[in-house]
């Protein structure tokens, strides 16, 4: 993926932009690698706040006093976290009160490079096979080998162009 020397770029600036976009994609993919290992770990039924607090042997009252909040407020916050209704700012504050660090991230199910390549293949297939279908109706359908070559070329063009065009 990335620069394709046979693709007519509009300018050197456009090629630099494509290279930077490719670099950004690879950097984000690399930064997310450690999170892939923890993906799928189930959240305890009462949430992480309650699980860590209880593991430390703290009651709701004790932890609330340490945080300087009412026990009822902490209890509601724990319920909000367990129900996925808590704000990140609130969760971060409560995590710090347990001497924990909130780790937040979006973890793609597949490497982002694969997502981009698959989308380029999907768009190329739609475009090329759409034309081939029309030609087939006129009994002029190209050979499978020719179609494969056209698909590969169109996919390469899409990957070396503006990626925003892959999502139209």
**Whole-angstrom distance, CA of residue 88 vs CA of residue 127:** 43
Q: What is the pLDDT of residues 138-162, one digit of tens each?
A: 556 667 888 899 899 999 999 988 8
Evaluate if pTM is beyond 0.75.
Answer: no
**Whole-angstrom distance, CA of residue 91 vs CA of residue 55:** 18
User: Residues 115, 108: contact at Cβ < 8 Å?
Assistant: yes
**Whole-angstrom distance, CA of residue 51 vs CA of residue 62:** 15
Give the model's confidence band at 2: pLDDT under 50 very low, under 70 low, under 90 confident, else very high. Answer: very low
Q: What is the pLDDT of residues 106-142, one digit of tens each?
A: 888 888 999 999 999 999 999 988 765 555 545 566 6
DSSP string covering 106-161: ---SS-HHHHHHHHHHHHHHHHHHHHHHHHHHTT-PPPHHHHHHHHHHHHHHHHHS
Mean residue pLDDT across the chain: 86
Q: How far is CA 107 from its chain centroid?
A: 5
**Whole-angstrom distance, CA of residue 20 vs CA of residue 27:** 10
């Amino acid at each position: 993926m990335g620069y394709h020397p046979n693709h007519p770029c509009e300018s050197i600036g456009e090629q630099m932009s494509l290279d930077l976009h490719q670099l950004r994609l690879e950097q984000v993919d690399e930064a997310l690698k450690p999170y892939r290992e923890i993906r799928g770990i189930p959240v305890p039924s009462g949430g992480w706040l309650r699980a860590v607090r209880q593991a430390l042997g703290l009651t709701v009252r004790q932890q609330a006093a340490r945080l300087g909040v009412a026990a009822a407020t902490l209890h509601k916050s724990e319920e909000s976290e367990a129900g996925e209704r808590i704000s990140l700012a609130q969760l971060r504050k409560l995590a710090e009160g347990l001497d924990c660090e909130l780790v937040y991230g979006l973890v793609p199910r597949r490497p982002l490079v694969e997502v981009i390549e698959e989308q380029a293949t999907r768009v190329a297939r739609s475009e090329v096979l759409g034309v081939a279908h029309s030609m087939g109706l006129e009994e002029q359908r190209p050979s499978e080998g020719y179609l494969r070559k056209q698909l590969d070329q169109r996919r390469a063009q899409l990957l070396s162009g503006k990626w925003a065009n892959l999502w139209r």
